[in-house]
Structure 1
Amino acid sequence: MADLQATPIWQGKPSRIPFVRRWQDAWYERRFLAHVAPTHHIYRGVYASFDEAKASIPAGRTAGYDNAGAADMYRDRTRRVFINDYPMIYWLERFFGQGARSVFDLGGHIGIAYYAYQRYLEYPDGVAWTVQDVPAVNAAGRAWADTHDARRTLAFVPSISEALGADILFAAGSLQYLEYTLVDAVEALPRRPRFLLLNSVPVHGTTTYFTVQNMGVTCCPYRVTSERDFLGSLTDAGYTLLDRWENPHRHCTVPFHPELSLDRYFGFAFARGAGA
């Protein structure tokens, strides 16, 4: 999904003149809250924590994915893939070839990847694909599956704790919305997934921070992780990086913070153990 292109008035650093800076902030806050186009995402603010970012969303404003507006998004993506999906399809096929049969799709919405990828990849017999998402999205996913899941191998669960025993932990564009980090979730599982397959991850060269994303129908706290924090934590948890790729079609422009803005996102494939 394309993000709204930055306009010159907020591409640069904030003014050092106090009254000009207050005007910049007020002007952009009005623009941010007025944004209602679901085809574009815009961002506002830099925060130290998920809770701080969440607290900055005005009371009465729809927040997070647990609502009808967010649950109704992305139907078109069940029928198409994007250029950065092809590495995911490649590694998913490799992992299936190594015996993986259970996929735990973290934040997989209504099963977007499950539907889209099977048009390009033959799922082996015995595959079980489980999506974990918020209640409103899970309900929408089950309703969609009633008429679209011909294989009857898609399930929906409310908690990542149910990833116990999964061969592949799959996350495509969802890690940035979580209150917890991926490594915290993985380390809490008594049996960790054999493979991690991650896409559209916003990674900054040096800094971990939170911002707020307005996707038109809702506002969400949004995590950007430093490369050292992201890769280092998974390495420490016993995972070996097999591959990484870039998606230059996704970007995150944080107004008045060009040093924190991203001009691309990343994808990663990991396997557990040094002999992966």
Structure 2
Amino acid sequence: MLQSLKNLPVILDLRKTIFENKFSSDENVNYFRGIYGSFSEAELSSPKTKPKGYDNTESASLYKERTNKIYSTDYPVLFWMNNYKTDIKKVFDFGGHIGIHYYSFSKLLDFSGIESWTVCDVPSVAEEGRKYSEQRGAKNLNFVSNIQDLSDQDLFLASGSLQYLDWEIHEKFFELKKFPKYLIFNMLPLHSTTSTITLQSIGTAFCPYYIRKENDFIKGLESIGYELVDLWSNEEKKCHIAFEKERSLNYYRGLVFRFK
């Protein structure tokens, strides 16, 4: 009965109005709302109260506390990086922000065999990462803002980043002269039956957000010569799109691929 009352037209409209006010103004939040046909459509629906995307000073300044902490969702990545450590000398950390995993993983991984760790992120974040690396005295840590700099790399790592792209990674790899040996994806929103573009509030900005269909994502990478090695669930991470239960996620995914 309570659920029926919540969905009465008048009450549902009131709930949506209250949520929209929170979505527009709340900080330090992780809200999702709306279903859109494209990233541009999602951007157009953004409230005017905050910037769009991560390429701004406020968003670039996020997550510094994460550089000193290992999260439970990190351990599968740590396991596979350690498993392949003799083959990994060059890491391309796509969407790695200010080098979060470079700093945090160094607490548990042996980095002596890694010659370079390159973070690819938007210009504002990359610039903040360079400044932060100077403060921390980081070695072999580089920052770029173009995926075309992905060349002759051993590992392509993407943790919590592909959802901010409206193109497919297997299609972008076709532009490379040489594919990475290994791919590790983590904190990736994949749905069992459908794909969805929604809009996320990260507190400092609004970001179009792409939930891919799991089977399509895997088949895309297999089509260019990769084989799936491992697949796991990040059960600590959820994506609840307001008023869209069927398109929401109760867990994210992690995957490892190896080039055959």
User: TM-score, structure 2 length as denominator?
Assistant: 0.93
Cα separation, 2, equivalents of 1:25 and 1:265 = 26
Within 5 Å, which residues of 2 pair with 1:108-187? 108-150=96-138, 152-187=139-174
Q: Secondary structure at the match of 1:259?
A: helix
Give the counterpart of 1:77 among 59, 66, 71. 66
Structure 2 residue aligned with 1:258: 245
Q: Secondary structure at the match of 2:53?
A: coil
Q: Secondary structure at the match of 2:153?
A: coil
Q: CA deviation at 1:126?
A: 4.7
Tell whether 2:20 aligns with 1:29: yes
Q: CA deviation at 1:181?
A: 2.1
Cα separation, 2, equivalents of 1:235 and 1:209 = 22
Cα separation, 2, equivalents of 1:229 and 1:21 = 34
Spell out, residue by residue over 1:14-66, the C-alpha distance to the aligned partner (whole angstroms, 9 max, x if none): 9474x555444333222211221x2x301110112222211211345311001
Q: Secondary structure at the match of 1:245?
A: strand
> AA paired with 1:268?
L
Within 5 Å, which residues of 2 pair with 1:2-81? 15=7, 17=9, 22-36=13-27, 38=28, 40-59=29-48, 61-81=50-70
Alignment root-mean-square deviation, CA:
2.0
Q: CA deviation at 1:115?
A: 0.6
> AA paired with 1:122?
D
Cα separation, 1, equivalents of 2:184 and 2:199 = 25
Q: Say how many residue pairs are matched.
A: 259
> AA paired with 1:119?
K
Gaps spanning 5+ residues in structure 1: where?
A: 1-8
Structure 2 residue aligned with 1:107: 95
Structure 1 residue aligned with 2:226: 239
Structure 1 residue aligned with 2:176: 189
> AA paired with 1:144?
Y
Cα contact 1:127–1:153 (8 A) shared by 2: yes
Spell out, residue by residue over 1:197-216, the C-alpha distance to the aligned partner (whole angstroms, 9 max, x if none): 11100011111111111111
Q: Secondary structure at the match of 1:65?
A: coil
Percent identity, aligned pairs only? 35
Structure 1 residue aligned with 2:215: 228
> AA paired with 2:197?
F
Cα separation, 1, equivalents of 2:172 and 2:83 = 24
Q: Secondary structure at the match of 2:62?
A: coil
Cα contact 1:49–1:209 (8 A) shared by 2: no
Select between 118-127 and 208-217 the one with higher mean Cα deviation. Answer: 118-127
Cα separation, 1, equivalents of 2:97 and 2:163 = 14
Cα contact 2:25–2:49 (8 A) shared by 1: no
Spell out, residue by residue over 1:87-128, the C-alpha distance to the aligned partner (whole angstroms, 9 max, x if none): 10111122222x221111101000000110010011133521
Cα separation, 2, equivalents of 1:45 and 1:258 = 12
> AA paired with 1:143?
K
Q: Secondary structure at the match of 1:256?
A: coil
Cα separation, 1, equivalents of 2:8 and 2:237 = 30
Q: Secondary structure at the match of 1:46?
A: strand
